[in-house]
């Protein structure tokens, strides 16, 4: 479909073409605001819209009161920044940002500091541990699923010159004795 001629003065019966989410629309004035773009395309007023700018420049955020000149040489293309969905312990959340930090996940999901946070990875690979300072990319295909679980503590204790594994934060004297002499009480 051939775009209509642009009227560089914004007057007369000519219309200006613009693309919103890949669909072509017509506008009779030289300038259009972000709110008018949303109304024209029947979009929610709280959605986030960007103006596609050719490389090497970055796309521009178009606020509701931002005016965009439609009479520039090319057809202006606008797109919505879709909210990215993810879950934390089965509860759904949304983000406008592609990346989210582990500490934000911990805060949103109200995850206690004594629990670990993992990004669910489809098998046969292991789930990915998320530290508080790590970033999770929410724009990968599909919905990211994050879950928490009790932190596993594993310590190596040397008793009588032998490495012994203990999986708790605290150890009592009776536990040390049991570890030291465990092999003496086990049947061969």
Predicted confidence at residue 81, as pLDDT, reads 79
Indicate whether 163 pLDDT > 90: no
Q: Say whether pTM exceeds 0.75.
A: no
Give per-residue burial for 124-136: e unless 16+ CB within 10 Å, then b: eeebeebeeebeb
Q: pLDDT category, 77, cuts 50, 70, 90?
A: very high
Give pLDDT tens digits for 97-122.
778 899 999 999 999 988 999 999 98
Give the residue with greater pLDDT, 173 vs 169.
Answer: 173
**Extended strands (E) in the chain:** 16-20, 23-27, 31-33, 48-51, 60-62, 67-69, 76-81, 84-88, 91-95, 99-101, 115-119, 128-130, 135-137, 144-150, 155-159, 162-166
Element (H, E) at 183: helix 182-185
Predicted confidence at residue 125, as pLDDT, reads 87
- The answer to whether 8 and 18 are in contact (CB under 8 A) is no
Q: How far apart are CA 15 and CA 18, in angstroms?
A: 10
Give pLDDT tens digits for 38-52.
999 999 998 889 999
- The answer to whether 166 and 179 are in contact (CB under 8 A) is yes
Predicted confidence at residue 29, as pLDDT, reads 95
């Amino acid at each position: 479909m051939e775009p209509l001629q642009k009227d560089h003065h914004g007057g007369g019966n000519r219309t200006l073409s613009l693309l919103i989410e890949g669909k072509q629309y017509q506008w009779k004035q030289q300038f259009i605001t972000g709110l008018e773009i949303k109304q024209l395309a029947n979009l929610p007023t709280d959605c986030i819209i960007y103006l596609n700018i050719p490389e090497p420049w970055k796309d521009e955020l178009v606020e509701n009161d931002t005016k965009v000149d439609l009479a520039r040489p090319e057809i202006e293309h606008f797109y919505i920044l879709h909210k990215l969905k993810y879950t934390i312990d089965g509860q759904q959340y949304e983000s406008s940002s592609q990346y989210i930090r582990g500490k934000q996940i911990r805060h949103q999901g109200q995850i206690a500091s004594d629990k670990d946070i993992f990004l669910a990875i489809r098998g046969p690979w292991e789930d990915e541990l998320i530290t508080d300072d790590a970033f999770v990319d929410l724009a990968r295909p599909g919905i990211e699923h994050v879950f928490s679980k009790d932190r596993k503590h594993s310590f190596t204790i040397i008793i009588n010159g032998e490495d012994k594994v203990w999986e708790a934060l605290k150890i009592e004297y009776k536990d040390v004795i049991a570890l030291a002499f465990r092999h003496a009480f086990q049947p061969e």
